[in-house]
Amino acid sequence: MTDTWIILGATSSMARAFARKLAEEGATLYLAGRDMADLEASAGDCKARGAANAHAVPFDARKPETFTPILEQMGAEEGMLNAAVFVGSMPDQADIDADPSLIDGTVTDSFTGPARFLQLLAPMMEERGGGTVVGVGSVAGDRGRVGNYVYGAAKAGFHTYLSGLRNRLTRSGGHVVTVKPGFVDTAMTWGIEGMFLVASPDQVAGDLLKAVRKKKNVIYTPFFWRYIMLIIRSVPEPIFKKLSI
Amino acid sequence: MRWKTESYTGWGRALTATGDIARPERASALAALMKDSPAPAIGNCRSYGDACLNDDGRVVDMTRMDRVLSFDEKTGLIEVEAGLQVSEISRLYAPQGWLPAVMPGTGFATVGGCIANDVHGKNHHGLGSFGQHVTQIVLNQNGKEVTITPKNAGLWKATIGGLGQTGIIARATLQMIACKGDVMLVTERRVDGWDEFLSVLDDSQATYTVGWIDATAKGDALGRGILEEGETGAGLLPKQKASKKVPFNAPHFALSKPIVKAFNNAYYRRVPDSGRTSVKPINDFFFPLDRIHDWNKLYGKRGFHQFQCVVPIAKAPALREMLEMIAKSGLASPLAVLKRMGPGRAGYLSFPMEGYTLAVDFPNRSAAQLLISKLEEMTEEAGGRLYLAKDALARPNRMKAMYPEWKDWLKVVKKADPEGALETDMTRRLELRSA
């Protein structure tokens, strides 16, 4: 694979695992995020695992001025351009209740920031006639729940955005995979009570790569979350509004 | 950093700890938590006893810090984060002609764990211990990074094989060795008894040598087993079957005397009388048991103990006496290994000494504990020593007597960790941190 991939939010353990798999297939990688020391370490890891090249690039979903330099650098690469989006933030709902201004950041990190970036990347992909976008959403975006409905709403917005982007890029040979992970064993979920059926980041990354190859549209990972969410979505609203799940 | 309260065990599962675990994914997170609340590191908990336990305390799980930071294909120098598994290094680099100089018996061991226990492998007679091939270590001491090399004589020797008491091993640079490829040419032959076993081990010219011993055979058959010799090579092998997993604790009779006897007999006869040479994937030769995940559950919920000692060459008769006692007891499991060791060691508390090492697993029963205590006494009398990475039962005075450089270690450790924040269940049980 001589493809170029940009990984937004590359310091997350899911992104790390996905980048490693791409590295072992010989891809060129752009690892984007805020912790540059950590991104440099991951770039070294990817190169040592067989990536054609790996660059650490500064990216902040809340600072659109960080987008253009990355896109310019990527534009110089040959072959198809691809992107995987792992950014997002999930403050406690209680903190948001106390300070509603936190909503803006959550929506920017999980939806509008990456959407703005992809909006700039899309014409470049169209010009080259292909490429894949992997957008990591969440099962939390399937239905608003009392525990994290702001995060859920941001992810739901992102899902809808990805669906539209898929509709657009298909016309030029591109593809978009929407990923809805259930509970994944990451730093974000470490030590949180009430986790069950927890998947490893490596397992999720394997599912993502398979979905890219098979050009899947929307996947749940692990797969059984499709059925769990089917049930959760089918609960009638008059009942659902009284539940606390 | 969030902490997760959990119960965890060493590989032997006979001892348990309950406490708070942090699992940093980045160097900045590790530094922050070591500044606020320094705690000992754990990896994949492949040491058998309590070297990786801190009951009622905190530990830092390093398994998410598992990146290769740099690799030089010309020199074979590799810098890695401490949580990287050894099997991952061989998987990535054996096809390119480089192998960790020392491969322990399980590929799940992390680089940090290999250093902190100065582990050895099937080539110890030739290349010595793991720590002898480490060229640089970055320690995290209370949030501050300290880079050390063999030139930092005291701190270096107290870190390698030092049970993590000088700081958390964050990163390390290893000098790998050249290999011909990622397959092994393995020659197995039957060995009829004890005396023959010692002489074939002494005479073996192979790069990698290990003996499986039937610890249930008595009389004329005492010390019978299989000598395995391996060399790396290049070649092609069919795709492997997926590894298996032991799903639940086995009942206690799974490893009872008649079953073990029958198994060992069949295992011995599996190799034809004339011997045989075969080709194996490299990780299968080095880590045969890793193909069965969680095999420690075969010992049931009470767990097991591994007794491993080394005695000087001249004291081989004492080792024979130990084996006789083990065979007579009928308590041994099929897992028993005999190996010739060279003198190579890198730290004050490193296990190896020139001689023969014997390792035998026993299900955790009171009779086995009594037997092990007797074997420990015989080891001490023979001027040998016990392996800290395996130990769960020894008493403080005996262990300290076996490690003449323990006081040198203690001096450095007291300076590196004056508050005792890095103490573990093992250092407390063996009173290693108090003179």
Domain CATH number, residue B309: 3.40.462.10
pLDDT at residue A83, rounded to an integer? 98
Q: Does the ipTM surpass 0.85? A: yes
| Same domain, yes or no: B263 and B379 | yes
| Same domain, yes or no: B87 and B209 | no
Kindly determine whether residue B25 and residue A13, on different chains, have CB atoms separated by under 8 Å: yes
Count of C-beta atoms within a 10 Å radius of residue A147:
14
| Same domain, yes or no: B289 and B378 | yes
Supply φ then ψ for residue B235, to 5 degrees. Answer: 170, -175
Per the domain annotation, does B394 fall within a domain?
yes
| Same domain, yes or no: B263 and B389 | yes
CATH superfamily for A4-240 is NAD(P)-binding Rossmann-like Domain (3.40.50.720)
Per the domain annotation, does B427 fall within a domain?
no
pLDDT above 90 as % of chain A: 90
pTM above 0.90, yes or no: yes
Count of C-beta atoms within a 10 Å radius of residue B419:
8
Partners of residue B71 in chain A, C-beta under 8 Å: 48
In this prediction, residues A24-34 reach a mean pLDDT of 97
Query: Which residues constitute the domain of residue B96?
Result: 68-179
Count contacts between A and B (CB, < 8 Å). 48
Partners of residue A13 in chain B, C-beta under 8 Å: 25, 64
Kindly determine whether residue A187 and residue B27, on different chains, have CB atoms separated by under 8 Å: no
- In this predicted structure, the answer to whether residue A60 has a pLDDT above a threshold of 60 is yes
| Same domain, yes or no: B341 and B208 | yes
Question: What mean pLDDT value characterizes chain A?
Answer: 95
| Same domain, yes or no: B149 and B201 | no
Long-range contacts of the stretch A74-78 (C-beta < 8 A, 24+): A74/A4, A74/A6, A74/A30, A74/A121, A74/A124, A75/A124, A77/A4, A77/A28, A78/A2
| Same domain, yes or no: B115 and B46 | no
SS (H, E, C) chain B: CCCEEEEEECCCCCCEEEEEEECCCCHHHHHHHHHHCCCCEECCCCCCCCCCCCCCCEEEECCCCCCEEEECCCCCEEEEECCCEHHHHHHHHHHHCEECCCCCCCCCCEHHHHHHCCCCCCCHHHHCCHHHHEEEEEEEECCEEEEECCCCHHHHHHHCCCCCCCCEEEEEEEECEECCCCEEEEEEEEECCHHHHHHHHHHCCCCEEEEEECCCCCHHHCCCEEEEEEEEECCCCCCCCCCEECCCCCCHHHHCHHHHHHHHHHHHHHCCCCCEEEEEEHHHHHCHHHHEECHHHHHCCCCEEEEEEEEEHHHHHHHHHHHHHHHHHCCCCCCEEEEEECCCCCCCCCCCCCEEEEEEEEECCHHHHHHHHHHHHHHHHCCCEECCCCCCCCCHHHHHHHCCCHHHHHHHHHHHCCCCCCCCHHHHHCCCCCC
Structure tokens that stand for A215 in this block: 């050009």
How many domains does one find in chain B?
3
Per the domain annotation, does B434 fall within a domain?
no
pLDDT at residue B332, rounded to an integer? 87
Task: Tell which A residues from 16 to 75 touch B, by Cβ distance under 8 Å.
Answer: 16, 35, 37-38, 41-42, 44-45, 48-49
In B, minimum Cα distance to A191 occurs at B4
Partners of residue B70 in chain A, C-beta under 8 Å: 44, 48
| B58-61 and B4-9 beta bridge pairing | unpaired
In this prediction, residues A100-121 reach a mean pLDDT of 97
| Same domain, yes or no: B260 and B333 | yes
Per the domain annotation, does B415 fall within a domain?
no
| Same domain, yes or no: B103 and B122 | yes
* Residues contacting B186, CB < 8 A, separation 6+: B228, B229, B230, B277, B278, B279, B280, B285
| Same domain, yes or no: B158 and B212 | no
- In this predicted structure, the answer to whether residue A191 has a pLDDT above a threshold of 90 is no
Per the domain annotation, does B25 fall within a domain?
yes
In this prediction, residues A218-243 reach a mean pLDDT of 93
Residue A1: pLDDT band (50, 70, 90) is: very low
| Same domain, yes or no: B387 and B356 | yes
Per the domain annotation, does B309 fall within a domain?
yes
Kindly determine whether residue B67 and residue A191, on different chains, have CB atoms separated by under 8 Å: no
Kindly determine whether residue B68 and residue A45, on different chains, have CB atoms separated by under 8 Å: yes
Among A13, A44, A186, select the one facing B68 at the smallest CB separation: A44
pLDDT at residue B406, rounded to an integer? 98
Separation in Å, CA B241 to CA A97, B278, B291: 52, 18, 9
The domain boundary, picked from B157, B179, B201, lies at B179
Partners of residue A37 in chain B, C-beta under 8 Å: 26-28
Per the domain annotation, does B407 fall within a domain?
no
Interface of B with A (CB under 8 A): 2-5, 23-29, 64, 67-71, 78, 81, 92
Instruction: Indicate the range of A25-29, A191-195, B192-196, B322-326 predicted with least confidence.
Output: A191-195
Per the domain annotation, does B340 fall within a domain?
yes
Q: Consecutive 10-residue runs of chain B (435 residues): their mean pLDDT?
A: 92 96 96 96 97 98 97 97 97 95 96 98 97 98 97 97 98 97 94 96 96 93 95 86 81 83 90 93 90 87 95 97 95 91 97 97 94 97 98 97 97 97 98 93
pLDDT at residue A28, rounded to an integer? 97
| Same domain, yes or no: B332 and B393 | yes
Comparing A101 with B251, the larger pLDDT belongs to A101
